[in-house]
Amino acid sequence: MGGMPRGFRTSVIDPWAPARRGQAGTNDLYAQHRPPPSVLIVRSWRARIAAAVSLIALIALAVGVWAWRTGIPSRSAPMIAAPSMAGLNYGVPRTVSGEWVGTQWLRSESSGGYWESTRPALQADLDFIQQHRLGKVMRVFVGLDEAMSWDPATGFKGFEQSALQNFSAALDMFDAHGMRVLAVLYDQQETGSSGNFHFEALDGAHPAMRQGYLRAAEQFLGRFGARHTVIGWDLFNEPYNSLAQDGHLPSPPHDNPVSPNFSDQTVHDWMRDLYRTAKAASPTALFTFSDTTELYWNPLPDLAKYSDAVDFYDIHVYDDHPSYPNWRWILNKPYVVGEAGASTTDSHYENQALNSSAVAYLLDHEAAAGVSFVLAQGPAFSEATGFLTPTGAAVATFLTKNPTKS
């Protein structure tokens, strides 16, 4: 049975009761202003619709957060068309005797360089890479400073033409092997190298030097920017790491690597100006600035550091136990892993067991993560012995098992 408990008196007053009984009373005012039933029905439906919309929005938000947190892909990632989904962070060729010369490999010996010795070494490397199926995308450091004629006070005066001719010849060699290049224009790692970026150009006291760097990029990319061999241009290698404070590197003078520890704003202004210069010089080319501190390690990366200065993201992952973030949700431009290896802590990337394991994971899961291609860091082979290292074997095994990606 329903109703109130016996002996219970309610204090709730029905405001419409007097009007219903035709009685006068204090509730007459309510009766006079009560909305007609049709209005109440409309309001009721509006309230229901609003509540349903709010509920749907909350469900969508919850699903989105859940998918982002769990890494479940929710949309297709924009991709860069590449000849293979794996390759090497090749860097630079050594000399035929195995000497490391860094970003001094393009100048001819007559102008203080090593080209006559690095060219045959590059040829041998590309032959070996092709023969052992180590991929068709190679990341190569240009180190444009080495090709410049330089004034200590004002910076760039012009190019050493033989260095530009040698760079063109190097691209021809990659073409002949069916490979494409992710080319690094400027780099700041070894302060003693003639190919190292002069970071005083950004200290605010050398405006002519800063402008000279922009002029050099304009001239160089006006000539080479649209070259098909180059799949993309990394305008500056890890600028927030090597120029700003993200990498926690010591300031010079100190053993390499160092950083002038400029503010993020100073570095971003430089990136933006360099990108605009590059895009004006070669509108169809793809440009980026590589990152090793923000996009992988930060669960909520600050995309404003890059969004107005890149056409795609070049992300460097150094982790003993890597796991891809859900970049499909986070990034709205194509992305590649331009350097893949084990942790930089205690130089774990030099440990072949650790490095090959990290590289294998990043390769095996790149398609699910929406990565256009992954380039392995670390020695992949030894020409002296003719054998692949474990890292090289990881790349070759991946491409052998996935022939459509090679």
For 362-376, the pLDDT digits (tens) are 999 999 999 999 999
Rounded Cα distance, 304 and 295, in Å: 11
Q: Check pLDDT > 70 for residue 404.
A: yes
Position 6, amino acid: R
Which stretch of 51-65, 160-174, 324-338, 385-399 has the lowest confidence by average pLDDT?
51-65
Looking at the chain, how many residues does it have?
406
Strand 180-186, strand 287-288: pairing: unpaired
What pLDDT digit, counting tens, does each position of 287-337 carry? 999 999 999 999 999 999 999 999 999 999 999 999 999 999 999 999 999
Q: Provide the strand spans (E) within 60-179.
A: 86-91, 137-141, 148-151, 155-159
Are 111 and 159 spatial neighbours (Cβ–Cβ below 8 Å)?
A: no
Q: Report the mean per-residue pLDDT for the chain.
A: 87
Q: Looking at residue 59, what is its pLDDT?
A: 61
Phi, psi dihedral angles at 316 (to 5 degrees): -105, 120
Rounded Cα distance, 257 and 206, in Å: 23
Tokens of 232: 């993309």
Q: Check pLDDT > 90 for residue 219.
A: yes
Rounded Cα distance, 242 and 109, in Å: 29
Tokens of 155: 């910076």
Tokens of 348: 């774990």
Tokens of 86: 């794996």
Percent of the chain surpassing pLDDT 90: 74
Are 199 and 188 spatial neighbours (Cβ–Cβ below 8 Å)?
A: yes
- pLDDT, average across residues 155-159: 97
Is the sign of the CA dihedral 97, 100, 105, 110 positive or negative? negative
Q: Looking at residue 347, what is its pLDDT?
A: 95
Position 373, amino acid: F
Apex 113 CA angle, 292 and 215, nearest 5: 60
Are 293 and 245 spatial neighbours (Cβ–Cβ below 8 Å)?
A: no
What pLDDT digit, counting tens, does each position of 37-50 carry? 555 455 566 666 66
Percent of the chain surpassing pLDDT 70: 81
Please enumerate, as own/partner, the contacts of 304-313 that have beta carbons within 8 Å and a separation of 24 or more: 305/240, 305/264, 305/268, 306/271, 308/272, 308/275, 309/268, 309/271, 309/272, 309/274, 309/275, 310/275, 311/232, 311/286, 311/287, 312/80, 312/232, 312/286, 312/288, 312/336, 312/372, 313/288
Q: Looking at residue 45, what is its pLDDT?
A: 61
Q: Looking at residue 65, what is its pLDDT?
A: 47
- pLDDT, average across residues 356-362: 98
Q: Check pLDDT > 70 for residue 361.
A: yes
Q: Looking at residue 6, what is its pLDDT?
A: 34
What pLDDT digit, counting tens, does each position of 100-110 carry? 999 999 999 99
Q: At a CB cut-off of 8 Å and minimum separation 6, what does 306 contact?
A: 271, 289, 291, 294, 295, 313
Phi, psi dihedral angles at 114 (to 5 degrees): -135, 15
Q: Looking at residue 44, what is its pLDDT?
A: 62
Is the sign of the CA dihedral 153, 155, 161, 165 positive or negative? positive
Taking each helix axis from N to C end, the angle separating 207-224 and 161-176, rounded to the nearest 10 degrees, works out to 40
